[in-house]
Amino acid sequence: MSRGPLVLLSCAVALVLSITLGAYHPFGNARMYESNNGSDRIGSQLPSPVQSILIQKCADCHSNHTRAPLYGHFAPVSWLMERDIVRARSSMDLSAWSSYPAEEQRVLLAKIVHETNSGEMPPLQYRLVHWGSRITDSDLQVFRTLTSNVDRAPVMVQVGSADPAHGKELFNKQCTGCHSLSQNHEGPTLQGVYGRSVGIAAGFAYSDALKKVRFVWDEAALDRWLSDPDAFVPGNAMDFSVPNPQSRRDIISYLRQNPGN
């Protein structure tokens, strides 16, 4: 067989094999080509400007309304796409937004602000293919305004004694997206933070704002920080607050029970 027909045959075999393997889902079936997969509107209950940004720049992975390209039928590209989509939906599914408890919605909104502001979302590989998905300064302003309004809503509660068990539950639910007790992530390790001087967690790149201040993370400082980090240390990189004073007290009590080594 001459070289030309052999090349064509090889290409045909590779194409058929790629399409066949595309029917397998080693990372989970994202059902990319199902029409309007899911009945809930994307980001329902959110203001229209926020919904518009999410639909345009986030929904392909973080909802059941994926706009899958033609090449998504072919393995191994389809596998990589499904891996990213399945992971994204498990982290935040905008199609199921109305089913999330109010506190979880608030946590996710803060995470959206943090990850878009830091350039982590949308991921680089997505932005390279979808040039229009880059988060602009005006997009960030929309997100910041929304979380600012939510975070600073007044909460009327009777503050009781601190409950470190409840604080642990709140920490795992609200804080572990950015923090860990044992490792630096998007935020510094919080093991031993109670009684520690600000800005000294080894190996963590602090914002310039926190590098310039000098205080110790005692109960008063932690309460002011969790209540409104921007008011306490203007220019810092934390996009999340805990408006409920009882929740703050419980979280601080939990952190106090986890001293450094």
| Spans of all domains in the chain | 3-151, 164-256
- Strands annotated E in the chain: none
pLDDT at residue 49 tops 80 = yes
Whether 164 contacts 257, CB under 8 Å: yes
Distance CA 79, CA 60 (A): 15
Res. 152 pLDDT band, cuts 50 70 90: very low
- Residue predicted with more confidence, 3 or 27: 27
CB atoms within 10 A of CB 238: 20
Please give the C-alpha separations between residue 148 and each of 140, 157, 229, 238, 251, in angstroms, as whole numbers: 12, 20, 11, 12, 21
Residue 161 is encoded by which pair of tokens? 């004694």
Q: What are phi and psi of 197, to 5 degrees?
A: -70, 150
Res. 158 pLDDT band, cuts 50 70 90: very low
Over residues 106-126, mean pLDDT: 80
Distance CA 237, CA 207 (A): 6
Q: What percent of the chain is modeled with pLDDT above 90?
A: 20
pLDDT at residue 43 tops 80 = no
Whether 32 contacts 82, CB under 8 Å: yes
The per-residue pLDDT for 154 is 41
pLDDT at residue 232 tops 50 = yes
Over residues 209-213, mean pLDDT: 90
CB atoms within 10 A of CB 184: 15
pLDDT at residue 246 tops 50 = yes
Whether 152 contacts 240, CB under 8 Å: no
Cis ω before 26 (30° cut-off from 0): no
| CATH superfamily entry for domain 164-256 | Cytochrome c-like domain (1.10.760.10)
Residue 93 is encoded by which pair of tokens? 């599914």
* pLDDT tens-digit map of 189-203: 999 999 999 999 999
Res. 171 pLDDT band, cuts 50 70 90: very high
pLDDT at residue 153 tops 50 = no
The per-residue pLDDT for 65 is 87
Residue 45 is encoded by which pair of tokens? 């209950």
Over residues 97-108, mean pLDDT: 80
Q: What are phi and psi of 216, to 5 degrees?
A: -110, 140
pTM beyond 0.85: no
Under DSSP, the state recorded for 172 is I
Q: Is the dihedral of CA 48, 107, 54, 89 positive or negative?
A: negative
The per-residue pLDDT for 156 is 40
